Amino acid sequence: MKIKKILSLILALAMILSALFLSGCDDGSNNDENETSGIVTLNMFVITEKETSKEAAKRVQMAINEITVPQYKMLVKINYYTADEYWDALYEAEKAAVKYIEDGKPVISASEDYRNIAKMTFNEAIDYAFELKDVDLLRPQLDIFVVDDYDKFLKMARDGRLSAIDVTYDRKVLTKYIHPTIMAATTVDKKVYGVPTNFAMDGRYEFLVFNKNLLDKYDYTVHDLRDIERMGGYLELIKQNEPDYYPINDLPELAGGVETYDNLLYTTSDLISISQSTIPMFLNNTKYIKFLKAVKSYKDSGYVAAEDGVEDAKYAVELVYSDRLLDKEWEEDGVKYQAYLYDLPRVSAREAFKSAMCVSAYSLNSAKAAKLVELFNTDWELADMLQYGIRNEHYRLEDDVVVPITVSEDNTYKMDNFLTGNVYVKHPLAGEEDYVKEAKITNISVAPSAFFGFDVTFSNASDESVYRCVEMISKKAISLIESGEMSIDDAFNIANKELNALGCTWNSDGTALQGVFGNVCKQMEDAAKNNTKFYKSTDEVKRYNEKYLSKEELAEMEREIAEADAAANEAEGEGTEEGAEGTGEVTEGTENAGEGTETEAGDEAGDEEAGGEAEAAED
């Protein structure tokens, strides 16, 4: 502590001498040591574990201030609360801050003004800050806090309780630290309301793995069977002629790239780009009808091992889930296999959200607050301190790995790594050295859902009533199909008529829906354009299936890739310009304690063994 104080005093002296020297070189203004410090006090709330002692929390808070006060002119009060008490305490602080503003921001009394660090000279402020045992606020305020629940985050953003963060750095710099899909989770109505933490998202690739020996025997190719709906003839051949094999182990819930919303809206993306359109799933949806009929037929015909409760059999076709790409071809025990990438991992905004550091809409120093949020997410020293405590007191570094130090109960400091900012920038805890590397490999091709960040809204009660009626009709139709009470054709016909009666119809040329669902589809389109525009699939994913495409399909794929890349690059350029416009400054690169950045993960993933053997790929 004393060494840091001496270094900080040296830094302060250097800053003053530098200012004096520079002032003699410009307009001759007197920037002397009697100028006020301009240090801003910020009030921050974090969630801690129950083991953290009050004394340890204060010591870590003041150690953080030994960096933020002299270097960034920020004095930070950090309030540590356990999860069960956090939100009540936060709401009380918010109410007090609102009342202070509504009361006209009363002037600090003369008896308290002597503690106003902003009015001290810089030297006085340094002395004052380094003698403090705790930070006492002179007025009610709320500046920074952690949100650990997506629904709470979304509500607070929409209720105007969060400040839109001015991204004071190039978006390319930001997404080196934060995965773009995760970053999009804190974007609401085209504004960023927090910096989310990185983590390994729960996304799985879907593959169809084919026994090539059997394909060759019956003169089929992967190209012939890449859609579930087109497998019927082949599965029947296997059923009739290969008693040692089940035709297929299991069936996907939906066709590749298909997603639904509220069991009502339906859309289909591909491996290259994210869909920006949707339709009601029971409205003239021939593709969905074909898929459902194929699934029912295969189950009724005894083609599906899972339907018969059979596991660990031999299969002609196997539906495989994996958190990374499989080899495209391999051989095992004399059997050759070929893998077809059926679908990508796709996540909703809720699934891409673990926690976020946010700035209160009632902060009177929102720019400084946003800067502190940035620091905790890009500066490894501050990130380590907030997470692990004081180095060589609460933990030590051994080969860039954090090893906790056993301390007394009244000096215990324990935090949740996913609630203290960017996991990637911190040194890893002993035993968790591979987490970041594995997370990058898992996340590299996780795609945002076509419904990412979409939350349907209505301009009036009548429109919402129509939507809810259609939602009920869709759920009823699904239930009747699944129970076998009604045929697929009958369920679709009845649902389609009911939808038409509620005004769910196409315009005269069949290009757009009218009425309530015209508005709903437009909302989805706008949300998809904004929330998925930074997504760019990896080349390995885009071209994974190219061996199984025709010449015409290959040409179409190349065109789609070019268009998708151009759109993503344009969006990235727009994001960079928007970020630079915030304050006109770009953050200098900070040292990253992690193993490279998020955008470098593709190279790492490419070097990893894909797990080509079938048993390694099984779910």
Stretch 565-571: mean pLDDT, rounded? 79
pLDDT at 528: 92
pLDDT at 616: 33
Q: What sign for the dihedral angle of Cα 35, 38, 39, 43?
A: positive
pLDDT at 118: 85
> d(Cα 48, Cα 53) in Å, to the nearest integer?
10
pLDDT at 543: 93
> d(Cα 492, Cα 353) in Å, to the nearest integer?
36
Please list, in sequence order, all residues whose beta carbon lies within 8 angstroms of the beta carbon of residue 333, skipping any fewer than 6 positions away: none
Residue type, 342: Y
> pLDDT confidence of 574, banded at 50, 70, 90?
low
Give the model confidence (pLDDT) of 380-391 as tens digits.
999 999 999 999
Q: Is 128 exposed, middle or buried (0-12, 13-18, 19+ CB in 10 A)?
A: middle
> d(Cα 481, Cα 302) in Å, to the nearest integer?
19
The yes-or-no verdict on residue 605 having pLDDT over 50 is no
Q: Where in the chain is the domain with CATH 3.40.190.10?
A: 33-200+354-442
Give the model confidence (pLDDT) of 54-111 as tens digits.
999 999 999 999 999 999 999 999 999 999 999 999 999 999 999 999 998 777 665 5
Q: Which of 52-56, 500-504, 562-566, 607-611 bottoms out in mean pLDDT, i.e. has the lowest?
A: 607-611
The yes-or-no verdict on residue 261 having pLDDT over 80 is yes
State what percent of residues in the chain have pLDDT above 90.
61
pLDDT at 510: 78
pLDDT at 612: 36
Please list, in sequence order, all residues whose beta carbon lies within 8 angstroms of the beta carbon of residue 601, skipping any fewer than 6 positions away: 440, 441, 443, 444
> d(Cα 5, Cα 443) in Å, to the nearest integer?
42
Q: Which of 13-22, 239-248, 262-271, 298-307 bottoms out in mean pLDDT, i.e. has the lowest?
A: 13-22
257: left (phi over 0), alpha (psi -120 to 50) or beta: left
The yes-or-no verdict on residue 566 having pLDDT over 90 is no
> d(Cα 162, Cα 356) in Å, to the nearest integer?
12
pLDDT at 178: 79
pLDDT at 507: 84
> d(Cα 595, Cα 440) in Å, to the nearest integer?
10
The yes-or-no verdict on residue 170 having pLDDT over 70 is no
Q: In this structure, are strands 315-322 and 205-211 parallel, antiparallel, or unpaired?
A: antiparallel
The yes-or-no verdict on residue 224 having pLDDT over 90 is yes
Q: Which of the two residues, 584 and 488, has the higher pLDDT score? A: 488
CB atoms within 10 A of CB 310: 12
pLDDT at 54: 96
**Dihedrals phi, psi of 320, to nearest 5 degrees:** -125, 135
> pLDDT confidence of 113, banded at 50, 70, 90?
low
- List for the chain the helix, strand, coil content (%; round to 5): 45, 15, 40
The yes-or-no verdict on residue 20 having pLDDT over 60 is no
pLDDT at 166: 61
One-character DSSP codes across 355-366: -EEEEBTT-TTH
Largest CA distance in the chain: 96
Give the model confidence (pLDDT) of 308-363 as tens digits.
999 889 999 999 999 889 999 999 999 999 999 999 999 999 999 999 999 999 99
Q: Which of the two residues, 181 and 143, has the higher pLDDT score? A: 143
> pLDDT confidence of 25, banded at 50, 70, 90?
very low
pLDDT at 270: 92
Question: The domain 33-200+354-442 is classified under which CATH number: 1.10.1050.10, 3.40.190.10, 2.40.30.10, 3.20.20.80?
Answer: 3.40.190.10
The yes-or-no verdict on residue 585 having pLDDT over 50 is no
Highest mean pLDDT among 45-54, 502-511, 602-611: 45-54
pLDDT at 547: 93
In terms of Cα–Cα distance, which of 85, 83, 77 is closest to 45?
77
The yes-or-no verdict on residue 28 having pLDDT over 90 is no
The mean predicted confidence, pLDDT, of the chain is: 85
> pLDDT confidence of 176, banded at 50, 70, 90?
low
Give the model confidence (pLDDT) of 446-475 as tens digits.
999 999 999 898 989 999 999 999 999 999
Stretch 245-264: mean pLDDT, rounded? 94
Please measure the distance between the N-terminal and C-terminal CA atoms of the chain and give it in whole angstroms. Answer: 52
